[in-house]
Amino acid sequence: MSEHTDELVAKYTGQLASYTRWLTFATWMAALLSAIGIGISIWIAYSTNELKIAAAEQLGEMRKSSEQVERSIKAANDQVSQMKASNRLAELGQTRQLRAYITLDDYDIVDFASKSMRVRLIVKNVGQTPAYSVWTRRCEDILPDVYDVKSPTYFSTTLKEWSQESALGSGVSQSTIPDRDNCKDKSKEYSSQDLRDFQRGTKIYVFWGASYYLDIFSEPRYFRFCRYLKNGDIKTWYSCDDHNDAN
Sheet containing 118-125: give its strands across.
Answer: 102-110, 118-125, 173-176
Task: List, for residues 172-216, the tens digit of each pLDDT value.
Answer: 998 876 554 446 555 678 999 999 999 999 999 999 989 999 999
Same domain, 75 and 163: no
Contact 125, 101 (CB under 8 A): yes
Task: Residue 88: give the domain boundaries.
Answer: 1-98
Confidence of residue 58 (pLDDT cuts 50, 70, 90): confident
Same domain, 74 and 155: no
Same domain, 164 and 58: no
Same domain, 80 and 167: no
Span 151-179, mean pLDDT?
78
The domain total for the chain is 2
Same domain, 72 and 148: no
